[in-house]
Amino acid sequence: MDNDISIESNSENLISDEAGDQQILKRSTSKVPIILNIRYKTQTFPIECDLYDTLKDLKEKIDKLTDVDPQVQKLVNKTITSVKHDDATTTLKDLNITDGQTLLLVGATRSDILSTTRGAVSSTDHKESTDDQVLTHKKEPLCKQTKHEKVLKAGKPDNAQIGIRNKNDPLPQSIDGLLMSMLNQSAKKARLTFKLELDELWINTAETTKKIPMTHIRNVVDEPIEGHDGYSIVGFQTGTTENSIIWIYWCPSQFVKSIRREILSDH
């Protein structure tokens, strides 16, 4: 009886040893160390890994070196990009990756993504702020805006022609062209002259003459001056921004439509 028990015990030990050998054999075959070169931007990172590592294992190691989140990592290699795979179960061996191979990494770092996100938010905020300012300016009368209000405080020129509201008159004629006296944006007395033979608009002050080709004027904007019936602010827009507008003040309102027609009718 004792011998039988002894034999069974020895059999158990034998089975245990054989199982242990199989486990050791399995572990030894899974250990195939390789080195891969990961090229990212201008740098190349050598990474020690195992042939039986999964893509998930590899991407986690790459993350530590590059700060590129595994979820945004794209490894460029024929076998990787041409086969659908599960990162958690697909091994490097499954993809025929070999020792010393170079893989190209594509993806933005976390800091790059954060910077881009902040930039986009900042850009959106700036655009919304700018839009709000534009809307504010559109709602606010020109004569109430600081830069225009400053000029208007200089007062109407003594020789300004009488302004008439709700009337459209042809531009006054003279030997020099079409004239009227008013203030320019520097709060200086100015004369507006249409040189039709030159297709130019001249703005004359005592010191200078600004000559503007009519073909350069994209638009003519105008608005009545509050509290001064019969007078308007007129702007000649030569570019695409508000800064490109040349402003004239105390223009008799009865000439505004004729000014617009004279400048824009041919363009």
First to last CA, the chain: 120
Listed residue (121, 151, 125) closest to 228, CA to CA = 151
Q: How many domains does the chain have?
A: 2
- Picking from 111, 134, 151, the residue at the C-terminal end of a domain is 111
The reply to whether 99 and 172 lie within a common domain is no
Both 154 and 233 in a single domain?
yes
CATH classification at residue 37: 3.10.20.90
Task: Output the pTM of the full model.
Answer: 0.46
Express as a percent the part of the chain with pLDDT over 70: 72
The residues facing 202 across adjacent strands are 193, 211
If asked whether residues 41 and 104 sit together in one domain, one would say yes
Mean per-residue pLDDT of the chain: 77
Nearest to 67 by CA among 105, 117, 108: 108
Based on the fold, state whether residues 226 and 161 are members of the same structural domain.
Answer: yes
The answer to whether residues 94 and 166 belong to one domain is no
Domain identity same for 81 and 169? no
Whether residue 169 sits in one domain with residue 94: no
Which pairing describes strands 102-106 and 33-40: parallel, antiparallel, or unpaired? parallel
- Residue 210's CATH number: 2.30.29.30
The secondary structure of 130-175 as a DSSP string is: HHHHHHHHHHS-GGGSHHHHHHHTT---TTPPPP-TT---PPPEET
104 lies in a domain? yes
Residue 122 within any structural domain of the chain: no
Q: What is the mean pLDDT of residues 141-153?
A: 88
Looking at the domain assignment, is residue 16 inside a domain? no
In DSSP terms, 124 is beta-bridged to: none
Burial class (CB in 10 A: 0-12, 13-18, 19+), 3: exposed
Express each pLDDT in 100-134 by its tens digit. Answer: 999 988 888 888 777 665 655 554 455 455 444 44
Question: For residue 161, is it within any domain?
Answer: yes
| Residues of the domain holding 157 | 142-264
The residue among 159 and 16 whose pLDDT is bigger is 159
Rounded CA separation 136/129 (Å) = 10
